[in-house]
Amino acid sequence: LGAMTFLIIELEGRDENGERVFSGRSTVIVR
């Protein structure tokens, strides 16, 4: 196996008032 790259993606959503409605983090493995 070759080197694997891990990508960390942070998600953030805001509503019309600019309030944060959700926040999450996901890890993506790229082969």
Got the DSSP string for 1-31?
----EEEEEEEEEE-TTS-EEEEEEEEEEE-
- Per-residue pLDDT tens over the stretch 1-31: 567 777 777 777 777 888 877 767 777 777 7
What per-residue confidence (pLDDT) applies to 1? 53
